[in-house]
C-alpha cells in the first residue's frame, strides 16, 4: 500500500513536471503540445548530456580551486607557526 502510494505520488509529480515543461516550451517556441512531447526524449537526452559535461568541467574546476585553496592555507599555517615551535627533525 505504501509502495502504491509512492508510485502514484511520483507519477503525479512527474506528470505535473512534464505538463509544466510542455506548457512553457510550447509558449516559448510556439510549437504544439504534441510536437513538444514528441521532442521531449531528445531534449531530455541533450539536457542530460549537457548537464553531465558541465558537471565534469565544474568538478575539474572545483578540484583545481580546492588544491589552490589548500596550498594557500598551508602557506598561511606555515607563516603563522613560530620558528621555535617547529618540530626538530
Partner 1 sequence: MTDSLSIVAVSAPSMALRYAAAFFLVVVGIGLIYALVRLGGTLGSAEKLLTDVDTEVVPLLKQATETLDGVNTELDKVDVVMSSVVDVTEKVDQTTRVVESAITVPAKKAAAFGAGVSQAVSSFFNRGSDSGEPPADEGASGGAWGSQAGFGSGAASGSAAGSQGAQASAGAASGSADDGASESTVAGAARETAETGGETASATRAAARAADDTVEAASEAVAQAGETDRVTGA
Residues that bind partner 1 (CB under 8 A): 24-25, 27-31, 35, 39, 42-43, 46-47, 50, 54-55, 57-59, 61-70, 73-74, 76-77, 80-82, 84-87
Backbone angles phi, psi at 31, to 5 degrees: -80, 160
Show the DSSP H helices in the chain as ranges. Answer: 2-29, 33-80
Q: Please identify, using beta-carbon distances, which residue of 12 and 76 lies nearer to partner 1.
A: 76
Q: Please identify, using beta-carbon distances, which residue of 8 and 55 lies nearer to partner 1.
A: 55
| Distance between CA atoms of residues 49 and 87, nearest Å | 51
Q: Please identify, using beta-carbon distances, which residue of 8 and 46 lies nearer to partner 1.
A: 46
C-alpha grid cell for residue 58? 565544474
Minimum distance from CB of 28 to partner 1 (Å)? Answer: 5
Minimum distance from CB of 38 to partner 1 (Å)? Answer: 10
CA gyration radius, the chain: 26
Q: Cα dihedral sign for 57, 60, 66, 68?
A: negative
Minimum distance from CB of 47 to partner 1 (Å)? Answer: 6
Amino acid at each position: 500500500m505504501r509502495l502504491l502510494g509512492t508510485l502514484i505520488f511520483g507519477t503525479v509529480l512527474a506528470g505535473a513536471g512534464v505538463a509544466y515543461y510542455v506548457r512553457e516550451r510550447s509558449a516559448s517556441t510556439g510549437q504544439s503540445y504534441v510536437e513538444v512531447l514528441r521532442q521531449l526524449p531528445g531534449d531530455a537526452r541533450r539536457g542530460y548530456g549537457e548537464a553531465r559535461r558541465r558537471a565534469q568541467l565544474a568538478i575539474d574546476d572545483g578540484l583545481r580551486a580546492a588544491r589552490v585553496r589548500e596550498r594557500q592555507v598551508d602557506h598561511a599555517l606555515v607563516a603563522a607557526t613560530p620558528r621555535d615551535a617547529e618540530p626538530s627533525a
